[in-house]
Structure formats: structure tokens, C-alpha cells
Structure 1
């Protein structure tokens, strides 16, 4: 499994934890997830980095508001789509 695939799998698992209401565990997993994804994003084109910052802001707003379902959706769909868009073909 590549580093990219691991980050995608971890994002989906983190989303699952938020959907199950395991917000403390998911919050800790999300910190690790962001730390592991950051080096990947830094190697991607500039527009991905810009979108990455916007997505993180939205996710953190949802976390602060305890909107776990919306946060899970961002992780499972937008996060995966953004990282996939920055991957070379």
C-alpha cells in the first residue's frame, strides 16, 4: 500500500468513526491524518494546496460546531477527491 492509499484509507476510517459518534477517537485520528497528508499536499500543484487550506478550514469549523456528519462527508468525499486530483496520472 502506498502512502497515498494509506492516507485515503485512514480518511475513510476517520469518517466512519465520526459517523458512529466516536468523536474523541475520530478527532485524535484526524490530527494524525492531517499530519500524514500534509507532506503529500506540499508535493502537489499549487491549486491543490490552496483548496487544501480551504477544506481544512471547513472541516475545523464543523469540528468546532460538533457537526460530525458534515465533517465525515468532507473526509470521505472532498478530502479523497482533492488528494486524488493532485496525484500524477
Structure 2
């Protein structure tokens, strides 16, 4: 499994934790996912990097609002889509 595949799997696992109501554990896992994803995003085209910044903002807003289900959706679907789209370029 490649490093990016590990990040994607970790993002999905983090989303599951948020859906299970384990928000403290999920919050820590999310920090690790973002830190692990950043080097991959840095190598992707500028439009992917811009989308990354926007996605991080949306995720932060949901975290502040404690909207765990929306945050889980961003991690499981939007982040995974962004990483796989950026990888294909």
C-alpha cells in the first residue's frame, strides 16, 4: 500500500470515529491525517492545493461547530476525492 493509500484509509477511519461519537479520539486522528496528507498535496497541481485550503477551512468550521457528521463526510468523501484526483494528475 502506498503512502497516499495509507492517508486515505486513515481519513476513512477518522470519519468512522466521528460517526461513532468518539470526537476526542477522532480529533487527534484528524490532526495526524492532515499532517500526513500535506506533503502529498504539496506535490499536486495548484488547483488541488487551492481546493485543499478550502476543504481545510470547511473542516475547521465543522470542528468548531462540533458538527461531527458533516466533518466525517468531508474526511471520508471530499478529502478522499481530492487526494485521488490530485494523484491522477
Q: Taking structure 2 as the reference length, what is the TM-score of the superposition?
A: 0.98
Please report how far the alpha carbon of residue 88 of structure 1 lies from its aligned counterpart in structure 2 after TM superposition: 3.1
| Paired residue total | 89
Instruction: Tell me, in whole angstroms, the C-alpha distance in 1 between the residues paired with 2:88 and 2:48.
Output: 12
> What corresponds to 1:17 in structure 2?
17
> What corresponds to 1:45 in structure 2?
45
> What corresponds to 1:82 in structure 2?
82
- Alignment of 1:68 onto 2:62: no
Please report how far the alpha carbon of residue 21 of structure 1 lies from its aligned counterpart in structure 2 after TM superposition: 0.2
Instruction: Tell me, in whole angstroms, the C-alpha distance in 1 between the residues paired with 2:21 and 2:88.
Output: 35
Provide structure 1 residue ranges, at least 5 long, that are not aligned to the other structure: none
Runs of 4+ in 1 over 2 A off after TM superposition: none
- Alignment of 1:28 onto 2:28: yes
**CA RMSD in angstroms, aligned pairs only:** 0.8
Q: Taking structure 1 as the reference length, what is the TM-score of the superposition?
A: 0.98
Instruction: Tell me, in whole angstroms, the C-alpha distance in 2 between the residues paired with 1:61 and 1:53.
Output: 13
